[in-house]
Amino acid sequence: MSRISQCIADLKAQNRKVLIPYIVAGDPDQATTVALMHKLVSNGANIIELGIPFSDPSSDGTVIQLGAERALRQGIRLLDVLAMVADFRKSDISTPVVLMGYLNPIEIMGYQSFAERAKEAGVDGVLVVDLPVHESKEFLAAVHPHGLDTVFLVAPTTTEARISAICAASSGYIYYVSLKGVTGAAIIDSGEIKQRISQLRALTDLPIVVGFGIKDADSARAMAAISDGVIVGSALVEKIARLSESPKGDAELQQSVALIGTLRDAIDNIN
């Protein structure tokens, strides 16, 4: 069982939901990212999604785009992202880390080289936003032998045939996109999301976590109640942005990730 699967299984045995924060690697800088990762865990995060900065993101809203731009201005590249994971692993060998990003940097490195280096650094899973499942055979063949889970997105518009293919190629968890839009938008119809998740459960035994639109205790609680957990990105990256222009002491780091503690409390107290 992978570290991701074990983490979610342990939470399920405790009747708890998984909380997955997303941050951009290298925003505002490399050392601060690693410190933030540890702060996220101490505030209740179970799995960390670490964004690979990319200049032309297709699914990210303004907040995360700006985070990627801040990281790119620091010169952050894929090798630096892997170095951050390796640094994090020096004192945390249990929290799963999923790299989330776009295909171009991985293709430049080469699938096999990426898989080997990611595994060596301590990465547990990969989510490549713009890699269609029907074009992922070569990528899956490179990463699966190294024990890396592959996470795919399911959108409200995804057809049942495509969902079946995604479920077959996925491991770790399914990332359900709660809305038709980019990160940072607001959830409108939780009833429709509940129905779609029910349809997904008929097609897979994998845990289903909801992302996009999770921004506060109410939205986290509502989505966790109908799924296996939630992912928060834009609301967190927006707070981290302040570190670019302020001191980066312990108090400032804690303030940037305090939202995670709030969401942890919310999803641990679902009626």
Active site residues: 49, 60
CB 76 within 8 A of CB 55: no
Q: Rounded to whole angstroms, how far apart are CA atoms 20 and 125?
A: 13
Q: Rounded to whole angstroms, how far apart are CA atoms 60 and 185?
A: 10
CB 192 within 8 A of CB 156: yes
CB 98 within 8 A of CB 124: yes
Residues in the chain: 271
Token pair of 135, please? 């074009």
Give the 3-state secondary structure of 235-259: HHHHHHHHHHHCCCCHHHHHHHHHH
